[in-house]
Structure 1
Amino acid sequence: MQTGLTDIEIIQQVLKGNQSVYASLVNKYQNYVFTIVLRYINSREDAEEVAQDVFVKAYRSLSDFRGESKFSTWLYTIATTSCITFLRKKKLDVHSLDNEKVMAHAENIDGGMRANQVEQKSRVTMVNQAIAMLSPDDAQVITLFYKGEQSLDEIAQVLGQETNTVKVRLHRARQRLKEKMEKHFRAEVSDLAM
């Protein structure tokens, strides 16, 4: 497998006929995609199936990637669309965007529990519970910005909105998250401030 290539260079090679380098994109983004899918689909087996399907769809649509955003942003869009399609077909309930199991999995990818991870995990759980209390729109923009580490421009592209609209939505979502934290986790928030 080749190393040191950017996502764009890998995509260009795949489009020129070197399909084997696509595996490096899969390896690079498999945990990212699986984490996104688990936010929607609670069953691990179904999530694995959908995550695999995301990479198949991405491969088939690679020529449509224009490079105007990060590859991860484009992949996020495919992943969320695939999840929604899967859930519609299965007629399952959509689970919280911030399922505690997802965060536990993401935090434990390195396999070890460090001394402060327990405290960090309880903070993450508290924040996830507060995010789960938000409207789906607020939770989505908070998740994309903080957990997906997407820029305002990238979020605007994913959501099909103007950047300024996303900036306002994020500001309002932060305010509502702060209100939820202060209302439901007052003691924990005051401990964190110390």
Structure 2
Amino acid sequence: MSTGQNDNELISNVLGGDQQAYAVLVDRYKSYVFTLALRFTKNREDAEEVSQDIFIKAYRALADFRGASKFSTWLYTIVNTTCITFLRKKRLEVYSLDNENVFEVADSQDSGLRANLVEQKSRVNMVNQAISLLSSDDAEIITLFYKAEQSLDEIAKVLGIETNAVKVRLHRARTRLREKMQKHFAAEVNDLN
């Protein structure tokens, strides 16, 4: 099977019984889905779990895809609802300070953070950290436009607002992102210039 097929051709093949065509779609969109899921969950393990759920849900609902928008726009809707559902179900773990193991858990989590310091200095991570400082609305529109590479019209459909409103929100979100980066990552931003 040729992997040069467009999304609609692959979807037709999947609906015709070709499961390998769905593997091509998963491979094509796995980074996209994982990045969005990680944005919601803030945790790599949770993002991996949610990503698997998203692809299962997308497979089951594939017959509902009408092709009115890009497949990635349709998939984003599934990502959004699945992540929100996951976050609602997830309970915060509470530990008693009387439990001696709680300090071991805290130490092990801290050492994991130290091991990731090198990675955190990368440009991508710096931008992701700055995005995490934004409001959820600003972060969502920045993520859709830059990471998910959605057009203004596609974002308008996903968010249920007018295209001009998307332009305004995106402009304001960019301004706030620039402010966050200058405030929290001034040295790194200067190093990039």
Q: Give the TM-score category using the shorter length.
A: 0.7 to 0.9
Aligned residues: 171
Task: Report the Cα offset of residue 120 of structure 1.
Answer: 10
1:135 aligns with 135
Give the letter for the 2:149 counterpart.
Answer: E
Report how far residue 10 of structure 1 moved.
1.0
Gapped regions of structure 1 (runs ≥ 5): 94-100, 102-117
The answer to whether the 8 A contact 2:120-2:126 is kept is no
| Distance in 1 between residues matched to 2:60 and 2:154, nearest whole Å | 22
Letter of the aligned partner of 1:60 in structure 2? R
C-alpha change, 1:121 and 1:72, in structure 2 (3 Å) is farther
Deviations 1:141-170 (A, max 9, x none): 111111111111111111111111111000
Q: Could you tell me how far apart the structure 2 residues matched to 1:126 and 1:45 are?
A: 20
Secondary structure in 1 matching 2:5: coil
Partner of 1:186: 186
Structure 1 range deviating more: 155-164 or 13-22: 13-22
Matches within 5 A, 1:70-81: 70-81=70-81
Using the TM superposition, name which of 35-44 and 172-181 deviates more.
35-44
Could you state the TM-score of these two structures normalised by the residue count of structure 2? 0.76
Q: CA deviation at 1:119?
A: 9.9
Q: What is the match of residue 106 of structure 1? A: none
Letter in 2 for 1:48: E
Kindly state the Cα deviation for residue 32 of structure 1 after the two structures are TM-superposed. 2.1
Alpha-carbon offset, residue 126 of structure 1? 2.9
- Cα distance between partner residues in 1 of 2:123 and 2:43: 25
Aligned counterparts, 1:37-186, within 5 A = 37-92=37-92, 121-186=121-186
Answer with 1 or 2: which has the greater Rg: 2
**Alignment match, 1:11:** 11
TM-score (norm 1): 0.75
Greater Cα offset, 123-132 or 4-13: 123-132
Structure 2 unaligned runs (5+)?
A: 94-111, 113-117
Distance 1:168 1:20, change over 3 A: same
Local SS of the residue matching 2:142: helix
| Cα distance per residue 1:33-54 (max 9 Å; x no partner) | 2222222224544433321211
RMSD: 2.7
* Equivalent AA in structure 2 for residue 144 of structure 1: L
Report if aligned partners of 1:2, 1:21 keep a CA contact under 8 Å in 2. Answer: no
Percent identity over the alignment? 71
Cα displacement (A) at 1:172? 0.6
| Secondary structure in structure 1 of the residue aligned to 2:21 | helix
